[in-house]
Amino acid sequence: MQAPPAPPRALPTGPLQQEQQKRETVREHAPAPKVPPQPKGDVVPMPQAPANTTADSADANVERTTAPPEVPAEAATRYAAQQTTAGERSRANATWQGLLLGHLQQHRRYPRQSERLRQQGVVYVRFVVYRDGHVSGARIERGSGFALLDQETLETVQRASPVPAPPADVAGDPVEVMVPVAFYLRGR
């Protein structure tokens, strides 16, 4: 597959382009230099610069810095990848998980004892959500290191049930999820 040709861009004439244009007009009017015949044998002569060259160092720099000639490319029949529904499914899943996290956050309570002891952390909880939004099988996947915060996370999941039901695009019946529940003391 080849890329489509790039559209030509009109750019203002800059110093390097002006020098290159001067050089091209000189080449058009000057006769082509004669190349001496190659001698036979192992010795290869060094190419000599034409005697009538009036190039200064700027012209030499232009010659060395010009881009290679454009290579013609065939126009492609398609310019983008085929559309799939995979992106739609992941977007629906991400949106639903965002709703689920927000719903859990509304039902989360910070244990008073943990607040007094300045305990903070994130608890990862795994549970299944049925198509009607009911939750079961909640268990701590990775604890915060504080038993009170871990226990409150399990209670939060039970209090929040039923949760937003998973959309039809999300595979599984029931749908198993693992979500973080954060406990941080902000300005308390």
Q: Residue 179's Cα: distance from chain center in Å?
A: 25
pLDDT band for 96, please (50, 70, 90 cuts): confident
3-14: pLDDT as tens digits: 777 766 666 666
In the predicted structure, residue 126 carries a pLDDT above the cut 80: yes
Structural Rg of the chain based on CA atoms: 36
Beta-carbon neighbour count of residue 160 at 10 Å? 19
Q: What percent of the chain has pLDDT over 90?
A: 39
Q: What is the DSSP letter of 183?
A: E
In the chain, what are the helix, strand and coil shares in percent, each to the nearest 5? Answer: 35, 15, 50
CA distance 30 to 50: 11
CA distance 131 to 166: 6
- CB 174 within 8 Å of CB 130: yes
Beta-carbon neighbour count of residue 85 at 10 Å? 9
20 torsion bin: left (phi>0), alpha (psi -120 to 50), beta (else): alpha
What is the overall mean pLDDT for the chain? 76
pLDDT band for 162, please (50, 70, 90 cuts): very high
In the predicted structure, residue 116 carries a pLDDT above the cut 80: yes
Six-digit token string for 104: 């859990």
35-85: pLDDT as tens digits: 556 555 555 555 555 555 555 555 555 556 565 667 666 666 555 555 444
Spell out where the chain has E strands. 121-129, 135-142, 175-183
Dihedral of CA atoms 48, 54, 55, 58 in degrees, nearest 10, equals 160
Please give the domain boundaries of the chain with CATH numbers for all domains. 86-183 (3.30.1150.10)
Q: Look up the pTM and report it.
A: 0.51
Q: Residue 142's Cα: distance from chain center in Å?
A: 30
CA distance 140 to 133: 20
pLDDT value of residue 46 = 58
Six-digit token string for 47: 């190419």
Six-digit token string for 63: 């010659």
